[in-house]
Chains A and B, each alone.
Chain A
Amino acid sequence: MRIGLFVPCYVDAFEPEVGIATLELLERLGLDVEYPFDQTCCGQPMTNTGCHAEAAATEALFVRNFTGFDYVVTPSGSCAHQVREHLTAIPQTPEVTAVRERTYELVEFLHDVLKVEAFPWARFPHKVAYHSNCNALRGIHHAKPSELNAPAFSKPLDLLAKVSGIEVVKLARPDECCGFGGTFSVFEPAVSAKMGYDKVADQARAGADYVVSADSSCLMHQKGCADRVGVPLKFIHIARILNGATA
């Protein structure tokens, strides 16, 4: 099985540890992982802003980089959602649709494709609040959203349950958006930041030491908000915990 690793631009720039953890974790699970060296971005910043034409060249580059893999795996629900649902600014050739269909977010890849039973190396003896990125939750169906009258499930919590010592706390508003929203965070900064303050307050009140998410973008925003209002929370991507980070 040939895996193409997609490291989103903000992970590449701000959270290289998340990319490293993802790569190492997939390799530990015995996979042949390649990192196409000319990769940049999935096109989401432009598409999210309505600028599809402006995203076309970036999308084409993405497809060129990731053609031919059995799976494309990325540690971001938001980017996986962009590729699967919104990479439409270029003609939908068989090559393009193949890349789109084969793109998986890390949690769903571990949970649904590899069906990983155990992470014997993973131990995280902390109280954590899990944060669902909205695209991961409602776009690629990581878990049952709180609005729906349907049987409960959660892929990320299933995986975290296999980590020894971890305790997941309950939030008052479990899947309320944290306000990042891609370019929303810079175009509507006041509302975005207020949503972030409320989110980190909820996590802190619930007794969390760490906030865990499958998306670095939300974590980066929440960390910026927590640091600004002086909430002593730490933020860590799920890939690092599953790969054995202990703090």
Chain B
Amino acid sequence: MSIEDQPRLSEPPAESARGQDGRPLQHAEAATKPVAVKAPREAQPRGAKIRGDRPIDQAEAAERFLAAPLHQAAHDARLWDLRTKRDTAAFGIPEWEELRELASAIKTHTLSRLDHYLEQFEAAAKANGVHVHWAADGADHNRIVHGILKDHGARSLIKSKSMLTEECGFRHYMATTGIEVIETDLGERIQQLDDEEPSHVVVPAVHKTRFDVAEVFARTMGTDPENDDAKYLAESQRMHTRPLILEADAGLTGCNFAIAETGTVVTCTNEGNADLSGNVPKLQIHSIGIEKLIPRIEHLGVFLRLLSRSALGSPITQYTSHFRAPRKGTEMHMVLVDNGRSERLGMEEFWTSLKCIRCGACMNTCPVYRRSGGLSYGATYSGPIGLIIDPTFNKRKYSTLPFSSTMNGSCTNVCPVKINIHEQIFAWRKVLAEEHQIPLLKQGMMKAAGQVLSRPAAYRAAIGAADSALKVLPRFAVYNPLNTWGKAREMPDSPGRSFHSWYKQNRMGKKAGAKTSAAKKDGAS
């Protein structure tokens, strides 16, 4: 394998993605790059194997993702492109770091008075003529929404992208009810048609290439399987879905921000699909995670300036829609969902993860995520934010995830609400080890390492004397009988002797003369 074997991505065609002024658009939504190599096609790697509550093997799924180099290269390039555009957008605002600070402070304030703001929100929404519901968990949410739909005899529901409904397993639940659910976000629709979870909170099908999408659409909508032109595919999906939207009995959206003072739900999309879901059918439902609250409309601007810049590098989403009261002759419901949030709010080290505005910036910058794909995490939330949220849902199942990180800290630096993500990953590892949620082998190895490293004599014996170093060093280096180091990397050369024995030989007992002789040697070391 050489470094030039990497699949290459070609530049986007010049005619696509121009703004109204004729200039090529620079923001990320306008700049997907086709994979230059046409053949052979490569099957899309699937996500982590789910086996009940057994710990997710992220490393195994990541290895399969890496074994599909076209997918991996396209995925990495696409997300790095988002990261680069995020930098450009963020650096265009002198007060960027101040904005992050402010957004974080607003969230701290709101979350520490959440009961107050939730009641204020409920009262305002009711005064606006909205039906307000409270759901303790995902199952509760699904039952409530199903109940509303049943009451109205609805047979079809159009919905816009919502991570909350993913969290609740809403689509799977609805499949058992006979009511058809149609996703209206393009990426989410692709995932629905392929019966796969979203792999990213903002770009849910980013792990798929155009070939994959052409295959899914050919299989489910009868399009030409050989045509992977993005315009053709998007248009086909539009023509296929638009009638379903127009005929739908009900619409459902998620919520980006819920304004306590006015009872408003704000959604941010680039496709306008939340507007379709909210405005076309006569029955509209908004599912709201209780952490989405902000006190007043004046606070919204802070988050809007951060959200799309962090997510895609564009100044603002194409659509920012405010839903407050039912239109004449229609009915509007809001479902406030807890699903573990109250419990998380009580976790001293982890509550600030509730500040998350689901921009995906941490995923885009994460070098592990870019190389393993979102589905490798086997959880609703993948990437760095997933590592710290998922274990709050199921400590055993997601016990491995906080280890799928190098804790490099880039996630923390891009987070628009300043969640200390990598420090929480570190803190989760401690919690999981204390509660014996890490593999016995791993903990045993660490215990052994701790015993060796705390006893100088044992340590010296382990790294060996000069002549036996070569034999002993590799094993010492990896603390690991399986030698996973050597599978993909060369072992380090043995230097022949340790610093310690050099020091003993050269410096012990002849300290006075040592300095001079050492200085003379410099340059030749």
Residues on A facing B (Cβ under 8 Å): 7, 9-21, 23-24, 27-28, 35, 37-41, 43, 45-46, 48-58, 60-61, 86, 121, 134-135, 137-139, 145-150, 173, 175-177, 179-198, 200-201, 204-205, 220-221, 223-225, 227-231, 240, 243-246
Report which B residues bind A (CB closer than 8 A). 1-3, 6, 58-59, 62-63, 66, 72, 76, 80, 87, 90-91, 93-94, 96-97, 365, 367-368, 371-372, 402-410, 412-414, 422, 426, 428-434, 438, 442-443, 446-447, 449-451, 453-456, 459, 463, 469, 473, 476-480, 484-485, 487-495, 497-500, 502-504, 507-508, 515, 518-519, 521-525
Taking the nearest CB of chain B, how far is it from the CB of A179, in angstroms?
Answer: 6
Considering the chains assembled together, what is the distance between the CA atoms of A196 and B90 in angstroms?
Answer: 28
Give every chain A residue within 8 A of B492 (Cβ-Cβ). 14, 220, 223-224
Contact across chains for B499 and A52 when beta carbons are under 8 A apart = no
- Secondary structure of the A contact surface, majority rule: helix
Closest B residue, CB atoms, query A200: B3
Given contacts A150-B97, A187-B484, A223-B490, contact A27 B518 (CB under 8 A): yes
Give the docked Cα–Cα distance between A164 and B507 (Å).
30
Residues in chain A near residue B498, CB distance under 8 A: 12-13, 16
- With both beta carbons as reference points, the residue of chain B lying nearest to A121 in the complex is identified as B522
Q: Among B456, B495, B515, B523, which residue has its beta carbon within 8 angstroms of that of A61?
A: B456
The listed residue (A12, A48, A181, A191) touching B463 by CB distance below 8 A is: A12
In the assembled complex, the Cα of A222 lies from the Cα of B447 at a distance in Å of 28
- Contact in complex: B446, A40 (CB < 8 Å): no
Contacts of B409 in A (CB 8 A): 134-135, 137-139, 145
Sample of 8 more A-B contacts, CB < 8 Å, known A221-B489, A224-B485: A13-B477, A27-B518, A41-B453, A50-B438, A54-B446, A179-B367, A191-B62, A228-B489
CB < 8 Å A-B pair total:
271
B66 x A191 contact (CB < 8 A) = yes
In the bound complex, how far is the Cα of B401 from the Cα of A50, in angstroms?
A: 13
Q: Are B438 and A40 neighbours in the complex by a CB distance under 8 Å?
A: no
Knowing A54-B447, A138-B410 touch, does A187 contact B59 (C-beta < 8 A)? yes
The reply to whether B477 and A176 form a contact with Cβ atoms under 8 Å apart is no
Complex CA–CA separation, A229 to B489 (angstroms): 9
Inter-chain contact A181/B447, CB cutoff 8 Å: no
A225 — which chain B residues lie within 8 A by C-beta? 488-489
**A-B contact list, 15 entries, CB within 8 Å:** A12-B498, A13-B473, A20-B499, A46-B446, A50-B438, A134-B408, A147-B413, A188-B62, A194-B66, A196-B489, A197-B3, A200-B3, A223-B492, A227-B490, A246-B523
B410 contact set on A, CB distance < 8 A: 134, 138, 145, 147, 175-177
A228 touches B525 (CB 8 A): no
* 9 nearest A-B pairs in the assembled complex, by CB-CB distance: A181-B406, A50-B429, A224-B489, A193-B488, A57-B454, A50-B433, A19-B499, A147-B413, A138-B409
B441 smallest CB distance to A (angstroms): 10
Q: How far is the CB of A124 from chain B (nearest CB, A)?
A: 10
Residue in B96, B371, B487 whose beta carbon sits within 8 Å of that of A195 in the complex: B371
Which B residues are in CB contact (< 8 Å) with A10? 477
A124 CA to B354 CA, complexed, in Å: 50
Task: Decide if B430 touches A52 in the complex (CB within 8 Å).
Answer: yes
Q: Is the CB of B413 within 8 A of A184?
A: no
In contact, B522 and A244 (Cβ under 8 angstroms): yes
